[in-house]
Structure 1
Amino acid sequence: MSSPTMADPAPSLPLEIPDKPILSTAEVVSLAEVAVRRAEKFGTLIDTLESGVNKRAADAAESLDRAGFQSKDQQAAADKAAAIARREVVTNSSDARWAHLKELNAAADSLATTAQLWASPVTVLARAGLGTQERSNFQQRLEGSGIVDLRNAALLAVATDNKIMGAAIVAILDRMPARSRPFSARDLADKLVGE
C-alpha cells in the first residue's frame, strides 16, 4: 500500500506592486502631454549638443583647408576635434541630460502604473467596492447561485448601474470553470464601466 503524497503547492505568481499613485483620466492626458513636451525638449538639447560637436569638427577641417592641408588631414583633424568636443559635451552636459531622463522615467513609471490599473474593463470593475461590506454581502448572497440567478443579478447590476454588484458577480465568475460561466465577465464589465 502506497502512502498518500502531499499535493504540490500552487505555484506563486509574481505580483508587481506599483509604487506610483493612480492617476485620473485627465491626469493621464496631462502627464502624456507633459511627457511629450519633455521628450521634445530633451531631443532639442541632444540636437543642440550634437550640432556643437559637428560645428567644432567643421571648423577644424575648414582651418586646415585654408592652410592648404590635404583632405585626409582635414578629415583627421575634424575627427579629432569631434572626439574632443564630444568628450567635453558628455562631461559638461551629464547633469542636464540625467535630469531630463529622470523626468521622462518618472512620467513613464506613472503612466505604466496607471496602464496596469486600467488594463481592461474587467480589471476596473473588479476593483469596485473592494473591501466594502456591500460587496461582501453581494458575494455571500450570490455564492452558489445557479446560472439563472447570476444572469438576473447581472441584468439588475447593469440596469441599476451597480458596479459593486457587478464586481461581486465578476469575482464569482472568476472562480467558475470557463465553460460553466453563463456569460463573460468582459461583457458585464463593458456594460458597467465601458472601454
Structure 2
Amino acid sequence: MAYEPKNYDHLKGGALKGFSDSQLDQHFTLYKGYVAKLNEIESKLAEADNTKPNYSFSEYTELKRREAVAFNGSFLHELYFENLGANASISPELQKALDAQGGKDKLVADLKATALSGPGWALLTRNRRDGKLHTYFIAEHHLGLPIEQDLLLVLDSWEHAFMVDYGIKRPDYINAFNENINWAEVSKRFAR
C-alpha cells in the first residue's frame, strides 16, 4: 500500500496568522518528500534480502534504519499541520487535564521552552502510564520518541518550518504557532 500525502492547502490564503503561503508551500513540499521516501523504502524492503543483516552494512539494514525517519517524518508533519487552525475550543475533559497541571498557559509556555531546546520536535502528550500531560523534545524523527504516549500537540521546530517567514527568529515563529493552535483537534486527540 502506498501512502498518499494529504492536502493542507486550506491553511493557506491567510488562514494562519504569521504563516505566509510561501512558507507553507515549502513545508508542504518537504512533507510530501517524506511520504515519497517512505513509499520508496517500503517498496525496496519488500524486495530486500533480509537473510544477512549486519550492523556495519547491508541494504536491508540501512533501509530498516531509515524507515522510521521517513515514517515519523511523514506522520509527525500530518499531526503538525492538522493541529494548526486557530480554534480555541477546548473540550471540558482536556481543560480539566490542563488545569490539573497548572493550566493551558503554563503547558503552552513549557511547550515553547521545549521547542527552543533545539531544532527538532516539541510534543505535548498524555502519558499512558501516569495519565498526566507531558512535553517532550525529540531531536530527530526517529530518536527519543517516548513510548506509551498519546501525541496531542505537535510543534515542528526545525528551521524549515519557519525560515522563510522568520529567518533565525525561532521564538517569533513559536509565538505565531501558539496563536494558531487548533485546540479542537487537540481535544479530539485527547478524547481518543
- Both proteins in one fold, TM over 0.5: no
State the TM bucket, normalised to the shorter chain: under 0.3
- Which has the larger strand fraction? 2
- Which has the larger helix fraction? 1
State the structure with more CA Rg: 1
Q: Which has the higher contact order (CA 8 A, sep 6+)?
A: 2
- What TM-score comes out, normalization by structure 1 length? 0.28
- What TM-score comes out, normalization by structure 2 length? 0.28
